[in-house]
Structure 1
């Protein structure tokens, strides 16, 4: 197994890429068909006292006004769930919901969502009564009051979202939206992992609080001493990945989350943050019905 300069086994990046097509959901987590309006849609998106739609799109970074006019005329823009193809439409970006190619535009500049590569031995909390490292050190440079979306246990590292968008955080953690999460799991496996392990994880294992099943699982690496397996699942029960492997007799020596929905950890260094791109945030919001 390859090693980095420090002598530690090199980490493998996830082979997954952000989806080309957005999985739209309504406010209850139910799939929305391509032609359906989103919840709370209005029959008349035009606002006389609003801004021109192409100007709003250009300010959101979707290209020149001419390019944004082409997006509108091509039927790729929705305002409050309604396709808008007229160039003279005016909108209120503070009050109306705008999607382009199914992706939500976040036009509220007070909202901030970050990706953190959480190191090991950090508590997923903003403070810790035992004095252990917590998440506050990674949010200190931002004036917004940020909160973590979900948790990673003390010894697990990788992708954790920090946001001040309460509705986004609620939906990402609500089980009805079934947001997929991908993990890279390392464990001792003398002679290699059993042939049936990946199949067993996909078919499901029995835990003390009920069955658990990986949506996808595959072996990334093995060298006869240890193995690395990537699993994707949409459940968020406490320590579920570790417990799934333990049920098959394997104790994980390292666990890293590499993906939440369309958001990838990529090469973000441990202990650092980055702001979500507009594409990532828009896809993520659309996936949870926003």
Structure 2
């Protein structure tokens, strides 16, 4: 046990909404950038706009007094310019507002959903073969939504749908390296295969080039089957299944549980939830928005 009463070696799970230690702000080409301070920035004041503290309060950052404190503490930027003075007015539909490096989605016409895609559903909004597709899960939504990336027909788990074209484009662009986590199940009689986790972490050879997991850990093994969790930035077709197959293991079940800061959690198969607030802000910051 550690001095705080936690088992040695276990890390305390961080809240979904805890500010990341480092927020990666990137430009349109995926290069990291830094916020511009007030001295270098331009005039962000929009005379016909709303007071910045009112915009922050409406976005869920507490009372106006609490939002004034955020501004005074240098935690708020508008269009890349740090704002520390009170009374600045902004146009929430046209200007980019960040708090602690997280972008606030102030455009109410934009919607992003997390879906727990069931097995035997095509990651498409229609299917010429007549198989189940994604339209049944968003039929009650007024917005026209598009899926971000894909999960193969037999894979279940977290899939994002959005009508924010720029967010969707950046999430699928390889330069932004958004990490994804999968839980992988396969038949494993007898002892757990020695060297499998190391091979996944160090890289395996596939027909379209090498692939490597950022993390790979054993979750469970009962002498009949094993469960392994892997995290990687790759987005190639069926890459997780192909990585295990290269080591002689065909997956019997595959579930995606995380995309960047967005977690699948206890979302039931075939249901959706809105990605909003700080969770959405962190996701947007990951791709430089």
Contact 1:201 1:244 in 2 (8 A): yes
Q: CA separation of 1:167/1:110 partners in 2, compared to 1, >3 Å: closer, same or farther?
A: same
Measure, in 2, the Cα distance between the counterparts of 1:193 and 1:43. 60
Structure 1 partner of 2:251? 252
Structure 2 partner of 1:4? none
SS state of the match for residue 279, structure 2?
helix
- TM-score, length-normalised on structure 2? 0.91
Measure, in 2, the Cα distance between the counterparts of 1:59 and 1:230. 38
Q: Give ranges in structure 2 of 5+ residues lacking alignment.
A: 1-12
Matched, 1:102 2:96: no
Q: Could you say what the CA RMSD is over the residues aligned between the two structures, in angstroms? A: 1.5
Which shifted more, 274-283 or 241-250? Answer: 274-283
Q: CA separation of 1:102/1:227 partners in 2, compared to 1, >3 Å: closer, same or farther?
A: same
Structure 1 partner of 2:45? 46
Measure, in 1, the Cα distance between the counterparts of 2:15 and 2:56. 25
Structure 2 partner of 1:29? 30
Structure 1 partner of 2:182? 183
Equivalent residues in 2 for 1:262-277, closer than 5 Å: 262-277=261-276
**Deviation by residue 1:211-262 (Cα, 9 ceiling, x = unmatched):** 0000111000110000000000001000000000000000000000000000
Measure, in 1, the Cα distance between the counterparts of 2:63 and 2:251. 50
Q: CA separation of 1:256/1:194 partners in 2, compared to 1, >3 Å: closer, same or farther?
A: same
Contact 2:113 2:275 in 1 (8 A): yes
Contact 2:19 2:100 in 1 (8 A): no
Structure 2 partner of 1:137? 136
Pairwise CA distance, 1:16: 7.1
Structure 1 partner of 2:125? 126
Contact 1:192 1:227 in 2 (8 A): no
Q: CA separation of 1:257/1:272 partners in 2, compared to 1, >3 Å: closer, same or farther?
A: same
SS state of the match for residue 253, structure 1?
strand
Measure, in 2, the Cα distance between the counterparts of 1:270 and 1:17. 23
Measure, in 1, the Cα distance between the counterparts of 2:206 and 2:163. 34
Equivalent residues in 2 for 1:11-26, closer than 5 Å: 18=16, 20-21=19-20, 22-26=23-27
**How many residue pairs are counted as aligned between the two chains?**
272
Matched, 1:72 2:74: no
Contact 1:198 1:218 in 2 (8 A): yes
Q: Give ranges in structure 1 of 5+ residues lacking alignment.
A: 1-14
- TM-score, length-normalised on structure 1? 0.91
Measure, in 2, the Cα distance between the counterparts of 1:192 and 1:267. 31
Pairwise CA distance, 1:280: 1.1
Give the ranges of 4+ consecutive aligned residues of structure 1 lying more than 4 Å apart after TM superposition. none
SS state of the match for residue 57, structure 1?
helix
Q: CA separation of 1:45/1:192 partners in 2, compared to 1, >3 Å: closer, same or farther?
A: farther
Contact 1:220 1:229 in 2 (8 A): yes
**Deviation by residue 1:69-96 (Cα, 9 ceiling, x = unmatched):** 0100010000011110111111111111
